[in-house]
Amino acid sequence: MPIYEYECTHCGQVEEVIQKFTDSPLTTCKKCSGRLHKLISHSSFHLKGTGWYVTDYASGNNKSAASTKPAEGTPSPPKPEASASTDNKSDN
């Protein structure tokens, strides 16, 4: 169930309430019986990881294989074997 925030227009008291989506909004302040209005807050819900875009799902035409290739002009990381062999030659 989501947490809703309400602010009193009379005393400024902010109240957090856990409510169902189907519950009707609160209208009166518990502290002073003033009128409440619902606040809009930032969500703490984040979509992370893969699978959130159409291009992240595998399809029959291998679009996902094309997306795993590095873009043109981007340098590929050096292989550990190649860099180790060149370091050994320069030390002699």
**How do residues 72-88 score in pLDDT, each as one tens digit?**
666 666 666 655 555 55
List the domain range (segments joined by +) for residue 19.
3-39
User: Count of CB atoms within 10 A of residue 14's CB?
Assistant: 10
In a domain, 17, yes or no: yes
Quote the CA–CA distance of 32 and 10 in Å, as a whole number. 8
In a domain, 16, yes or no: yes
In a domain, 91, yes or no: no
| Rg of the Cα atoms in the chain | 28
In a domain, 18, yes or no: yes
Quote the CA–CA distance of 47 and 52 in Å, as a whole number. 7
Q: What is the pTM of this model?
A: 0.46
Question: How many structural domains is the chain composed of?
Answer: 1
Quote the CA–CA distance of 48 and 42 in Å, as a whole number. 17
| Conformation bin of residue 60: beta by default, left when phi > 0, alpha when psi is -120 to 50 | alpha
Q: Where are the alpha helices (DSSP H) in 3-79?
A: 63-67
Grade residue 44 by pLDDT with cuts at 50, 70 and 90: confident
In a domain, 90, yes or no: no
**How do residues 50-64 score in pLDDT, each as one tens digit?**
666 666 666 555 544
